[in-house]
Chain A
Amino acid sequence: MSAGRARRHLWPVPAGEGEAEALLALVARGDREAFAALYDLVAPTVVGIARRVVRDPHQADEVAQEVLLEVWRRAPSFDPAKGTSRTWVATIAHRRAVDRVRSEQSERDRRGRDAERHTTADPDPVAGSVIGDAERDEVAAALGQLTDLQRQTIELAYYGGYTYSQVADILDLPLGTVKTRIRDGMIRLRDALEVTA
């Protein structure tokens, strides 16, 4: 099914996309200069994800530092067949940010706060990004195409760092509804962004 779906980029491939691939290939061979250049390309995303999910800026920057070092350490294991280097970096960053918030004592408090204001849990998740570019606008537009439930569940899971059962608690929805809304929403997001794996 997915093989038959046409994929085309409706906007130019961001500059640096191919550059990041080339740099990561060099980094995988231990090239520290290439890593410095790759840092400049991906650090804004790593710091952005860490701050969005962890929230406390001090802890977030600690997580970002760990993630960037992990990019260096694990570069030899990167498999281009499984996705782009930027997706790979974002995956590590999000995973580590989530690890941090789930290991925290304050998790319960965070959750309480979001439950209180869940209708406006993250009204504009991309507001506050200082690097305003086409990417940011594309994502905001794509999120705007989702239903309210799809958008809320995805935002709480991704930007809030919650498990789907916590999302269900916060929004007072059945677990099954949350699972299917997240998946349907991600499929719609993928199509809206014309994402290729």
Chain B
Amino acid sequence: MSEHTTPDPHTLVGPYVLDALPDDERVLFEDHLSRCPECRAEEAELRAAAGHLGRATAVAPPAALRDQVLAAVEVTRQQPPGAPWSTTRRRAWPVVLATAATIAAVVALGALLLQADHRADRAEQIAAVVAAPDARTVPIAGEGGSMRLVVSSAHGSAVLLAEGMAAPPPGKTYALWYQREGRMVPAGLFEPGGDGAVRQRVEGVPPDVVGVTVEPDGGSDEPTLPIIATGTA
């Protein structure tokens, strides 16, 4: 089927305006959006259409709501223009918002780093894999934070995404392994950024089991036990 061989980040604009992208994919798509005028134009139009879906649900608000809101407004300062959207989220849902703040930091940092062309290419490659029509997610469970591998067979590659990972011990690095014909073969080395996040493209599609270990810098031919996290593709 052609849709499995022509991955296209633009298709994510639909789920994006419906708030149907998970946080990590939303961050990647917003990065793409910042560099794609066509997507921005389409986003504005489709968002307006989504607004109509919302307006069609209109109901009479409960009578008490008006007084509550207007009373709250009396004692609430407005934000200056350009204030980030994440500050409001932190207020309302502190637990979820730690992640949102982390992501905001990643975006801000990413925006700086992406000024270099090769970095932009790398982000584009990551976005293309995540946005691929055949992309599927392999959760990798274990200690050291939440990881998942977004796999696209059409691309022949995957993207490792993680949040809240501790830095490896000095002189060590994390390694991802794919199990092939009963053997664990190295799929790549990675280290979280200062914010504990990992966004890394991995060559090759995991046939079955994937694992994560801690290895000496430079990696190893065989995994050093223990395997700290595993997932099944």
Minimum CB distance partner of B68 in chain A? A65
- A77 part of interface (Cβ distance < 8 Å): yes
A128 to B88, CA, bound (A): 31
Q: A87-B48, A175-B136, A186-B49 are in contact. Are A65 and B72 (CB under 8 A)?
A: yes
- A172 part of interface (Cβ distance < 8 Å): no
Q: A74-B83, A154-B18, A164-B20 are in contact. Are A193 and B57 (CB under 8 A)?
A: no
A182 to B13, CA, bound (A): 9
Q: A43-B65, A48-B58, A135-B52 are in contact. Are A174 and B134 (CB under 8 A)?
A: yes
Surface stretch bound by A, among B91-99, B174-182, B201-209: B91-99
- A145 part of interface (Cβ distance < 8 Å): no
CB of A108, distance to nearest CB on chain B (Å): 15
A43-69 near B? 1/0 per residue, CB < 8 Å: 111111101100000000100111011
- B171 part of interface (Cβ distance < 8 Å): no
CB < 8 Å neighbour of A64 from B45, B61, B70, B95: B61
Q: A45-B55, A70-B88 are in contact. Are A180 and B133 (CB under 8 A)?
A: yes
Interface of B is mostly: helix
CB of A12, distance to nearest CB on chain B (Å): 15
* Known A82-B44, A157-B20, A197-B41; further 14 A-B contacts with Cβ < 8 A: A36-B70, A48-B59, A69-B69, A103-B96, A129-B59, A138-B56, A157-B15, A183-B46, A187-B14, A189-B53, A190-B49, A195-B45, A196-B45, A196-B48
Interface of A is mostly: helix
CB of A35, distance to nearest CB on chain B (Å): 6
CB of B50, distance to nearest CB on chain A (Å): 6
Minimum CB distance partner of B15 in chain A? A164
- Contact between chains at A52 and B4 (CB < 8 Å): no
- Contact between chains at B57 and A49 (CB < 8 Å): yes
A74 to B76, CA, bound (A): 11
Minimum CB distance partner of A197 in chain B? B44
Residues in chain A near residue B96, CB distance under 8 A: 99, 102-103
CB < 8 Å neighbour of A86 from B45, B51, B53: B51
A10-43 near B? 1/0 per residue, CB < 8 Å: 0000000000000000001010100110011001
Minimum CB distance partner of B14 in chain A? A183
Residues in chain A near residue B12, CB distance under 8 A: 179, 183
A98 to B82, CA, bound (A): 23
CB < 8 Å neighbour of A44 from B14, B53, B61, B88: B61
Residues in chain A near residue B44, CB distance under 8 A: 82-83, 197
Residues in chain B near residue A185, CB distance under 8 A: 14
Residues in chain A near residue B73, CB distance under 8 A: 32, 35, 69, 72
Residues in chain B near residue A32, CB distance under 8 A: 70, 73-74
Q: A73-B79, A140-B56 are in contact. Are A179 and B72 (CB under 8 A)?
A: no
- B34 part of interface (Cβ distance < 8 Å): no
- Contact between chains at B59 and A44 (CB < 8 Å): yes
- B132 part of interface (Cβ distance < 8 Å): yes
Minimum CB distance partner of A48 in chain B? B57
Most A CB contacts (10 A, CB to CB) among B48, B95, B96 go to B48
A94 to B50, CA, bound (A): 10
Within 8 A of B (CB), among A73-97: 73-77, 82-84, 86-87, 90-91, 93-96
A183 to B95, CA, bound (A): 32
B7-45 near A? 1/0 per residue, CB < 8 Å: 000111111011111100000000000000000011011
Residues in chain B near residue A6, CB distance under 8 A: none
- A136 part of interface (Cβ distance < 8 Å): yes
- A147 part of interface (Cβ distance < 8 Å): no
